[in-house]
A and B are shown apart, each in its own frame.
Chain A
């Protein structure tokens, strides 16, 4: 099992462009979580998805950010019209169930830099 995969590992965008971050969960995991880590801060929850459903998006900024986890393929975190403040490390985690006691397995992260 290759573990949680994220790509790209590094992404550079200019202000106003779109950023697409991909996350492939571990085999057999149908629950995906996205977290954002701003410089000098801890990880902050953004969104929790199951296949084809958004369960909790309470941590997502109201505008420009969206996430999906289609029936086939990876989960996508999409940021439209990026601004400098979006520069951060974005981590994806997966788990086999939504039980809070379950371990979440993390990907290596995507480091987004907005110029």
Chain B
């Protein structure tokens, strides 16, 4: 069965420092991977998806099929990046298409 692991429940960095939120997955095929973010008192929203190869709010994520990872990175963290981050996976095909499997989430705190 597919699984998503975010090994860090809490991550603290100082403003301006690089940040990397780890995400590993288990799936034998070609998954579709996403990062969702939940800011304080807001609803969960999409941050980026690997197929778009885009950078949103300075964040990037590269799919590494060899290591089955999809780590989220930002070179210079800002205080407004403090939030809960979820890595999510979807595997194409079958009736489960569209269903997301989420990691447990990482709470990022950026200190001034």
Q: Chain A interface (Cβ within 8 Å of chain B)?
A: 3-4, 31, 33, 35, 41-45, 48, 55-56, 58-59, 91, 95, 98-109
Check B98–A99 contact: CB distance below 8 A: yes
Which residue of chain A lies nearest to B101 when distances are taken between CB atoms in the complex? A45
Known contacts A48-B98, A58-B96, A106-B43; 6 additional CB pairs below 8 A are: A35-B100, A42-B6, A42-B105, A43-B102, A100-B32, A106-B45
Q: Which of chain B's residues have a CB closer than 8 A to the CB of A103?
A: 46, 49
Q: Looking at chain B's contact residues, is the secondary structure mostly helix, strand, loop, or mixed?
A: loop
Q: Which of chain A's residues have a CB closer than 8 A to the CB of B46?
A: 103-104
CA distance A91 to B97 in the complex (A): 18
Interface size on B, residues (CB 8 A): 25
Q: Name B18-56 residues within 8 Å CB distance of A.
A: 32, 36, 43-46, 49, 51
**Known contacts A45-B100, A95-B98; A100 and B43 CB within 8 A of each other:** no
Check A104–B100 contact: CB distance below 8 A: yes
